[in-house]
Amino acid sequence: NAQCACVNHETICRCPDGFQGNPSPQQGCVRVPQSCRSKDQCPRGQMCVEHVCKQPCRSEGECAAGERCVANKCQVPCVGHSQCQSSQACINSVCVIGCRSNKDCKSSHACIN
């Protein structure tokens, strides 16, 4: 779903609203996680789950390229932290908002996944 071009030896991608470019052919555009406290703070058709807006799904076909339908929510699959955005961690093979190490936390907190 990404429209990418090479300009001056750099890959530039354009994505739909709510997505950001990832020039990896496996992912294309990835959904940008949006924080929420209620469904009203999410884009139309999305739900607020654990303070993050999620696209509901019943099958893989309802999710964006590079996402899987897991527990009725479109999720980004992963095998390690490097496949997730910087504010996310790879937990149970999906990218979720969270810490990767104690460096991501205040000195009075610990990263426990």
Greater pLDDT, 38 or 90: 38
Helix (H, G, I), strand (E, B) or coil at 15: coil
Give the β-pairing of 88-91 and 73-75. Answer: unpaired
What amino acid occupies position 72? N
Supply the pLDDT for residue 30: 78
Supply the pLDDT for residue 101: 78
pTM: 0.63
Encoding tokens for residue 66? 């590079």
List pLDDT tens digits, range 65-84. Answer: 778 898 899 988 888 888 88
What amino acid occupies position 82? S
Q: Are 103 and 110 in contact (CB under 8 A)?
A: no
